[in-house]
Structure 1
Amino acid sequence: MGSLGDNARVIAGRYRLEARLGRGGMGVVWRATDQLLGRRVAVKELPLDETLSEEEAAQQRERTLREARAVAQLRHPHIVVVHDVVVHDERPCIVMELIEGGSLAGRISRSGPLGPGAAARVGLDLLGALGTAHAAGILHRDLKPGNVLLEEATGRVVLTDFGIAQVSGATTLTEVGSFVGSPEYTAPERMSGERTGPESDLWSLGALLVTAVSGESPFRRDSIGGVLHAVVFDEIRPPPAAEPLAPVVLGLLERDPRRRLDAAGAERLLRAYIETGVMPPLPDAAAGPA
Structure 2
Amino acid sequence: MAKNPKETVFETTFAQYTTEIVLGEGGAGRVFRVKDEEGNAFALKLLHGQGVTRDKRRRFKNEIGFLQNTRHDNVVRVLDHGVQSDGKENAPFYIMDMYDGSLRSLMEQRNGVPAAEVLSLFSQILDGVEAAHLKRVVHRDLKPENVLYRSATGRLAVADFGVARFSAEDLLTAVETKPTTRLANFLYAAPEQRVRGREVNVPSDIYALGLMLNEMFTGQVPHGTDYRKIGEAAAEFAWLDPIVESMLRQDPAKRPSSIDALKREIQFQNSAFVGRQKISQIDQTVVHVDKLDDPIVAKGMQLTDGKYENGVLKLQLSQSVNQTWINAIRNMGSYSSVMGKGPESFNFAGTEARIGARENEIPDIVQNFKTWLPKGTQVYAQMLHKEAQQRTAAERANLEKQRNDEEEKLRIQDTLKKLFSS
Q: TM-score range by the shorter chain?
A: 0.7 to 0.9
**For residue 180 of structure 2, what is the amino acid of its counterpart?**
G
Q: 1:107 to 1:91 in 2, by over 3 A?
A: same
Q: 1:117 to 1:255 in 2, by over 3 A?
A: farther
CA distance in 2, matches of 1:51, 1:150: 27
Deviation at 1:199, TM superposition (A): 1.4
Deviation at 1:114, TM superposition (A): 2.4
CA distance in 2, matches of 1:138, 1:69: 12
Q: 1:173 to 1:21 in 2, by over 3 A?
A: farther
**For residue 68 of structure 2, what is the amino acid of its counterpart?**
A
3-state DSSP of counterpart to 2:210 = helix
3-state DSSP of counterpart to 1:83 = strand
Deviation at 1:113, TM superposition (A): 3.2
Q: 1:49 to 1:168 in 2, by over 3 A?
A: farther
Q: What percentage of residue pairs aligned between the two structures are identical? A: 29
- Residue of structure 2 in register with 1:195 after alignment: 199
Q: 1:21 to 1:149 in 2, by over 3 A?
A: same
3-state DSSP of counterpart to 1:166 = coil
Deviation at 1:191, TM superposition (A): 1.5
Deviation at 1:30, TM superposition (A): 0.9
Q: 1:235 aligns with which of 221, 225, 235?
A: 225
- Residue of structure 1 in register with 2:74 after alignment: 78
3-state DSSP of counterpart to 1:258 = helix
| Contact 2:27/2:49 (<8 A) preserved | no
3-state DSSP of counterpart to 1:113 = coil
Deviation at 1:105, TM superposition (A): 1.0
Count of aligned positions:
255
- Residue of structure 2 in register with 1:16 after alignment: 18
CA distance in 2, matches of 1:63, 1:159: 17
CA distance in 1, matches of 2:262, 2:226: 18
Deviation at 1:65, TM superposition (A): 1.1
Residue-by-residue CA offset, 1:7-26 (whole Å, 9 max, x unaligned): 42111251211111222455
| Contact 2:125/2:158 (<8 A) preserved | yes
Structure 1 residues 1-290: aligned runs within 5 Å = 6-12=5-11, 14-25=16-27, 27-35=29-37, 39-49=40-50, 57=54, 60-89=56-85, 90-99=90-99, 101-169=100-168, 171-172=174-175, 175-193=178-196, 194-219=198-223, 234-235=224-225, 237-239=227-229, 240-241=232-233, 243-261=238-256, 262-271=258-267, 276=272
**For residue 235 of structure 1, what is the amino acid of its counterpart?**
T
Q: 1:195 to 1:16 in 2, by over 3 A?
A: same
Residue-by-residue CA offset, 1:21-79 (whole Å, 9 max, x unaligned): 222455311111122x6532110112333685xxxx3x542442133212221111111
**For residue 129 of structure 1, what is the amino acid of its counterpart?**
G
Judge which range, 24-33 or 166-175, deviates more: 166-175
Residue-by-residue CA offset, 1:147-184 (whole Å, 9 max, x unaligned): 11221111111111222222134543664534242112
| Contact 1:121/1:270 (<8 A) preserved | no
Residue-by-residue CA offset, 1:196-230 (whole Å, 9 max, x unaligned): 211111111000011111112113xxxxxxxxxxx
TM-score normalised according to structure 2 size: 0.55
**For residue 205 of structure 1, what is the amino acid of its counterpart?**
L
TM-score normalised according to structure 1 size: 0.77
Residue-by-residue CA offset, 1:105-133 (whole Å, 9 max, x unaligned): 11222223324432222221111111111
| Contact 2:142/2:184 (<8 A) preserved | no
3-state DSSP of counterpart to 1:276 = coil
- Residue of structure 1 in register with 2:359 after alignment: none
Q: Which runs of 5+ in 2 are unaligned?
A: 275-409, 414-422
Q: 1:51 to 1:133 in 2, by over 3 A?
A: closer
